[in-house]
A = this chain, B = another copy of it.
Amino acid sequence: MEQFSGVSVVKKANVYFEGKVTSRTVFLADGSKVTLGIMLPGTYEFGTDSREIMEILSGDLSVLLPGEETWLEIKGEGTFHVPAQSKFKLEVRSVTDYCCSYPA
């Protein structure tokens, strides 16, 4: 059972798309941040401020990264990178558990 230890967790959730996408913010010991989230089935477009690494812990979804014409398919686990200041699209087909990190 993988855990983040020695961290701080913001009590209140982050809620997007009427609760179909939600996350909790975790501050790691080194000061960096991750968000642990859930996405329910649906089609979403997200914008990034900083660079993001999206680790899919479980799920079934398609991802259209900025500048790409081909959707990336993830069933089960997977990871993709999103540039800063960009937009990406997701088609989520089943409940998807994720960990998003924001490398400097």
Contact = CB atoms under 8 A, between A and B. Distances in A.
Interface of A: 1-13, 15, 18-20, 22, 24, 26-27, 36, 38, 40, 57-58, 95, 97, 99
Given A4-B8, A8-B7, A40-B40, A97 B57 contact: no
A4 B15 contact: no
A58 B19 contact: no
Given A12-B57, A15-B38, 18 more contacts: A2-B12, A3-B8, A3-B9, A6-B8, A7-B7, A7-B8, A9-B9, A9-B26, A9-B36, A12-B97, A13-B97, A15-B97, A19-B95, A20-B40, A22-B22, A22-B95, A24-B36, A40-B40
A19 B40 contact: yes
A8 B1 CA distance: 11
Which 3 residue pairs across A and B have the least CB separation, nearest first? A19-B95, A5-B8, A2-B11
